[in-house]
Amino acid sequence: MTNLAIAGDSLAYSPRSGRNLLEDVSISVADGERLAIIGPNGAGKTTLLRLLAGLQGPTSGTVRLYDRDIRAMRPVDRARLVAVVGQVDQPDHRICVRDYVGLGRVPHHGQVKKTDDRAIVDAALVRTGIEAFAGREMGSLSGGERQRAQIARALAQEPRILFLDEPTNHLDPRARSDLMRFVAGLDLTVVAVLHDLHVVPEFATQVAVVDAGRIVACGPPDQALSRETVQRVFGIDLFRLPHPVENRQVTVFDIPSQL
């Protein structure tokens, strides 16, 4: 036994026709760690997340979750271990928020009493701050509220690993930071594809930088998010500066003026 939550080894993926979208990607995530996958549009981030979550099989290579080969897991066992909040989730607009969050309990049906299921759904609604919307239809929520409902559904699933694909998409700047702090406070292993580089240093314990289907830098945020890597991969600049008021450093991303 290791304390690895996720071990992806020599992963490659290419659709039936076409180029390799991922090549020779190996990554491990320790139990309780929070991995941010970053990279430019089309780099292969979502593809990597889908392979690690078992939503898609690799063309070659293996994924192990808590020492078990993901290919040998029954879907229901995987769903008790892994919850995914994807970029596109369009539930029936008429389903009410409570019932939508309750869908997270499906993999556990028959495992616990219905009253426990209800208590777990209630707790997920409270934790994500959407209990006031419980009776509303999903179609009536704002983008940010729907995002929280999706996370509540994932929490109701009681996973050990939470996968998030661009979870801050619909959120205003303060809500982005609040959400990632909230997720960091969960006692879970988390893998998140993030476009907003500002939230990465405070959220992630590990960062994987993906470019053109390969991991080009991986490590703690202050190492993986180096100025050189950010310049090369994103074409922007990075500065770590003393905070003007507080006794800490801030990471500033800047688009060079000569662009």
Ligand X SMILES: Nc1ncnc2c1ncn2[C@@H]1O[C@H](COP(=O)(O)OP(=O)(O)OP(=O)(O)O)[C@@H](O)[C@H]1O
The footprint of ligand X (CB under 6 A) covers 15, 18, 21, 39, 41-47
Q: Which is nearer to ligand X, 107 or 213 (CB)?
A: 213
- C-beta of 203: minimal distance to ligand X in Å? 17
The beta-strand segments (E) located in the chain are: 4-13, 22-30, 34-38, 60-65, 68-69, 82-85, 161-165, 189-193, 206-211, 214-219, 237-242, 249-254
- C-beta of 246: minimal distance to ligand X in Å? 32
Instruction: For 36, list phi and psi in degrees, rounded to 5.
Output: -100, 125
Q: Which is nearer to ligand X, 18 or 185 (CB)?
A: 18
Cβ count within 10 A of residue 69: 11
- C-beta of 155: minimal distance to ligand X in Å? 24
Q: How much of the chain is helix, strand and coil, in % rounded to 5?
A: 35, 30, 35
8 Å CB contact between 167 and 192 = yes
- C-beta of 195: minimal distance to ligand X in Å? 6
SS (H, E, C) 39-68: CCCCCCHHHHHHHHHCCCCCCEEEEEECCE
Q: Which is nearer to ligand X, 120 or 171 (CB)?
A: 171
Q: Which is nearer to ligand X, 39 or 58 (CB)?
A: 39
Q: Which is nearer to ligand X, 39 or 159 (CB)?
A: 39
Q: Which is nearer to ligand X, 18 or 110 (CB)?
A: 18
**Tokens matching residue 33:** 């760690």
Q: What is the dihedral of CA 87, 196, 259, 222, to 10 degrees?
A: -130
- C-beta of 175: minimal distance to ligand X in Å? 20
- C-beta of 86: minimal distance to ligand X in Å? 11
